[in-house]
Amino acid sequence: MAAHLQLSGGVGSGHLKPQFPLNTRFPDLSSHRPRFTVRLSPPAVVAAASARRRYTITLLPGDGIGPEVVSVAKNVLDLVGSLEDIDFGFKEMPVGGAALDATGVPLPEETLAAAKQSDAVLLGAIGGYKWDKNEKQFKPETGLLQLRAGLGVFANLRPATVLPQLVDASTLKKEIAEGVDVMVVRELTGGIYFGKPRGFGTNEHGDKTGFNTEVYSSSEVDRIARVAFEIARKRRGKLCSVDKANVLEASMLWRERVIQIASEYPDIELSHMYVDNAAMQLLRDPKQFDTIVTNNIFGDILSDEASMITGSIGMLPSASLGATGPGLFEPIHGSAPDIAGQDKANPLATVLSAVMLLRYGLGEEKAADRIERAVFETLDKGFRSGDIYSTGKVYAAFILGRFETGWMQRDGRPSFEVHRFASASLRTPDVVIREEKLHPKPSTPARIIDYLCKFRPSPSAMNSGHNTGEASAATTKTLAFSSGNPRIEETRGVMHLFRDDVASSSSHLPVGRKPLVCVLGVPNHMTYADFCQFCGAFVQHMLEMRIVRNDEMEDKYSALITFDSQDSSDGFYKHFKGQRFSSFEPETCNVLFLIDVQYTGSIEHGQASPVTSSEQPTCPVCLERLDQEAGGTLTTICNHSFHCSCISKWTDSSCPVCRYCQQQPEKSTCFVCQTSEDLWMCVICGFVGCGRYKEGHATMHWQETQHCYSLGLETQRVWDYVGDNYVHRLIQSKTDGKLVELNSRCSHAGKGDSSCDCSEDPGISEAMLNSKVEAIVNEYNELLSTQLENQRLYYESLLQEEKKEIEKEIAAAVAQAASTNAKLLKINAKIDKCLDEKKFLDDVNENLLENRDIWNAKLTEIEEREKNALRQKDDKICDLEEQLRVLMLCLETGNSLE
């Protein structure tokens, strides 16, 4: 297979929709690649090979990065369909937050109906900060749960395989992560996510509560267990059931049913593990797992954890299958709204979900293999997005052949600049890759997919194999250019270039060309670092780059580039000719071959100078020599030269030298009192302090550090605190101790001593001068060594003092923590005692209240009894009074009769 992933044509199976489990074959440990294939039963293989198959796929982009990654997968499916005689009909529908904004519900009825009527469903991602505060029925995630229930999918397959290409991206040690190949089988439509009752309530204390129900039926456990056993049988024959049977009754039923189903699969090694232990073992020794089966919520958590072992959640697909109907295929990552629209999302999980869609949902094995091989070869060649990028040694691959434009331009959407990385050197008829060490740099997802989508070379690349003409002197054009600051020194010149029509295509290169090219009309908003980044790995092959301005081009500059070989310049021409500088702007890269450059004015380091004994200029950034053999050089438009690797790190649009020279020096002040008068700077450590006529902080610094030399910022003379004088002894004469000048003049000259012939013998004068210079150098070196040693001792003493202070603070903090802990224990004891007393008082109060009720009842009874007694007494009195009245009446009657 060619390096540009030209995938051979072929014919897939017929229009079939195999449902799980149709003799599924899962990842092989030896390959470490997530190869999901379906081996169809004999009736499924007899479809006509020549007929074009047609499928309807419902696309649910969702929220956040969902539309980005789904768009990538859609275009990949379109391209592979054109190679495999497959017609895909896509129907895009809203779901999640997008559906909420459009229709007010997370899953419109039209979306669910379209999904049910399609052959497969490809989902992007759901959710975002925007809808986090919505009520539950209006949250995007509710739409996903309703979609799964509506499609009747219950088995969620989540592979987690550490690819050899990405083992360094794992957060675990290489020896732990290498070779991990786990399949998590998650029950999808039951458990706590769907169990009832659920909702909100109020407890006996008046507090608001929220509750959910973890519920499973034996039939739900049985069907997912059988799926897991079938998968384990196609893998390495090991199945681990994860539950929480020591606490949860639902897990107790889960384990009971899994053990029961295991009797149907005697060839499978079954084990059980509590979920908390499983989470730990996945990090400690993930290679012990083959297939994991678990419930909905445990599978949601463990599959995400397993995905990070692979290096990124953005690399893993998933498939949700049911007994009938279309399957649901989606990446397991979230919507990542913080990076949405920034071309940072990793689309490979969605592309691999499309692979599972082709295999599980449609039975298109060959088409799935095409995309899968493209993904793996892309990773083999070192392509990385930010989430799976790891530091280390990477290689730049120059794809110098001429290919068909990527899918983004074919759809009328902005194209992205492409940086390609490869891990080996190879050459094919239309692809040339050169191996170069680079500073590690991740590529964006769009660059990866740009490489993915280049399945075929363009017709011009396949048909061209010879040059169509030769250049002549009449096929050139001349442009004037200038560089430098016109107020200081300006360099002008003329460049002779081959015309555009001489090299009308990348395969027709002008005869007699040199490894010199000119990039005309680079927009001024592109900094030097941006242009170096645009050139990508070709920077490593550039010997010299000069930035110039053309008189007839406003707001643009040009770059004259010298390459190390003709192949490099040809490759640069083929790769960047006509390519846009930015995906958001129309300017394209106009590359022409240079015939000659003639300078009409003075120029510094403009042309290769003959070898002399003078020292080469140095780069103002790294201070290393501007040696073209060690790395390319870039001369800015202001005639300042740098290493390309240094200027590529300069993010500002201005020249580093010009910017530094234009900055006004800051006024120095004393580090202690901030005064700006009578300042002295320590020549050993750079401390700036005021002199003895102010606060004397410079003298204090000498007393503390023993740095005895200080430079007066006004006089620029060095003071020796030990000698209490300005430093002159470095240029004192050894004979008389007087100050002398460093020249060949005799010390007796000017005294009228005509007998001295020292001045007349230049050899003696030179010997004396060399002796003095040597003495000065030796004394200075000894002085510097002594002062540096004193400086080391001084800072070591400061470190020791700081260490002691920190230890004291730590000891005080520990003591205070112990004291606080003791106080806390006492407070807790008092709180416990108060709680006990409160409980006792509550009991007493409760008893008193009960007694009060009893006594109130008794009092009421007594009052009622007294009332009855009084009433009876009154009745009796009335009766007696009546009897008395009758008796008196009788007596009166008797008396009257008598």
Please give the structure tokens belonging to residue 51. Answer: 């007929």
More confident residue, 868 or 35: 868
Q: Which of 569, 576, 584, 559 is closest to 495 using CA atoms?
A: 559
- At residue 252, does pLDDT exceed 90? yes
Q: Which of 741, 691, 730 is closest to 711 using CA atoms?
A: 691
- At residue 470, does pLDDT exceed 70? no
Alpha helices in 189-338 (DSSP H): 218-234, 249-262, 275-284, 296-309
Give the model's pLDDT for residue 486: 66
Cα 107 from Cα 59, distance rounded (Å): 13
> What DSSP element (H or E) covers 200?
strand 199-202
Give the model's pLDDT for residue 374: 85
Least confident of 274-278, 622-626, 667-671, 741-745: 741-745
Determine what percent of the chain is predicted with pLDDT higher than 70. Answer: 72
Cα 634 from Cα 544, distance rounded (Å): 6
pLDDT interval class at 776 (50, 70, 90): confident
Determine what percent of the chain is predicted with pLDDT higher than 90. Answer: 27
Please enumerate in sequence order all residues whose Cβ is within 8 A of that of 363, keeping only pairs 6 or more positions apart, or say none: 12, 13, 14, 16, 17, 18, 38, 40, 44
Least confident of 352-361, 566-575, 634-643: 634-643
SS3 label, residue 23:
coil
Give the model's pLDDT for residue 487: 62
Please give the structure tokens belonging to residue 202. Answer: 């109020």
Q: pLDDT, tens digit, for every residue of 808-822?
A: 999 999 998 988 888
More confident residue, 633 or 588: 588
Q: pLDDT, tens digit, for every residue of 201-242?
A: 999 888 999 999 999 999 999 999 998 998 899 889 999 999
- At residue 586, does pLDDT exceed 90? no
More confident residue, 786 or 664: 786
Please give the structure tokens belonging to residue 765. Answer: 């004068």
pTM of the complete model: 0.42
Give the model's pLDDT for residue 649: 67
Give the model's pLDDT for residue 451: 46
Residue with token string 């040009």:
558
Q: pLDDT, tens digit, for every residue of 473-486?
A: 456 778 888 887 76
Give the model's pLDDT for residue 651: 63
Please enumerate in sequence order all residues whose Cβ is within 8 A of that of 328, keeping only pairs 6 or more positions apart, or say none: 115, 121, 123, 147, 148, 151, 153, 319, 320
Half-sphere exposure of 193 (CA within 13 A, CB side): 20
Give the model's pLDDT for residue 495: 83
Most confident of 135-144, 432-441, 548-557, 779-788: 135-144
Please enumerate in sequence order all residues whose Cβ is within 8 A of that of 67, keeping only pairs 6 or more positions apart, or say none: 61, 124
Q: pLDDT, tens digit, for every residue of 444-460?
A: 444 444 444 443 333 33
Mean residue pLDDT of the chain comes to 75
Going by their DSSP bridges, the two strands 516-523 and 590-599 should be labelled as antiparallel
Alpha helices in 637-751 (DSSP H): 644-647, 656-662, 697-705
Give the model's pLDDT for residue 770: 66
Give the model's pLDDT for residue 653: 60
Contact 526, 652 (CB under 8 A): no
Please enumerate in sequence order all residues whose Cβ is within 8 A of that of 170, keeping only pairs 6 or more positions apart, or say none: 162, 177, 308, 309, 310, 311
Residue with token string 């949700």:
320
More confident residue, 388 or 251: 251
Most confident of 401-405, 489-493, 684-688: 684-688
More confident residue, 372 or 434: 372
- At residue 2, does pLDDT exceed 80? no
pLDDT interval class at 749 (50, 70, 90): very low
Give the model's pLDDT for residue 255: 95
Give the model's pLDDT for residue 231: 85
Give the model's pLDDT for residue 74: 93
Q: pLDDT, tens digit, for every residue of 22-71?
A: 233 333 323 333 333 333 233 333 333 446 889 999 999 999 999 999 99
- At residue 411, does pLDDT exceed 80? no
Cα 34 from Cα 348, distance rounded (Å): 12
Give the model's pLDDT for residue 545: 86
Half-sphere exposure of 116 (CA within 13 A, CB side): 14
Active-site positions?
193, 244, 276, 300, 304
- Write the DSSP assignment of 831-852 as a string of letters: HHHHHHHHHHHHHHHHHHHHHH
Question: What is the dihedral angle through the alpha carbons of 591, 596, 600, 602, rounded to the nearest 10 degrees?
Answer: 90
- At residue 796, does pLDDT exceed 80? yes
Give the model's pLDDT for residue 627: 64
Q: Which of 564, 695, 685 is closest to 632 using CA atoms?
A: 564
Q: pLDDT, tens digit, for every residue of 152-172?
A: 888 988 888 888 777 877 888
> What DSSP element (H or E) covers 25?
strand 24-25
pLDDT interval class at 640 (50, 70, 90): confident
Give the model's pLDDT for residue 465: 36
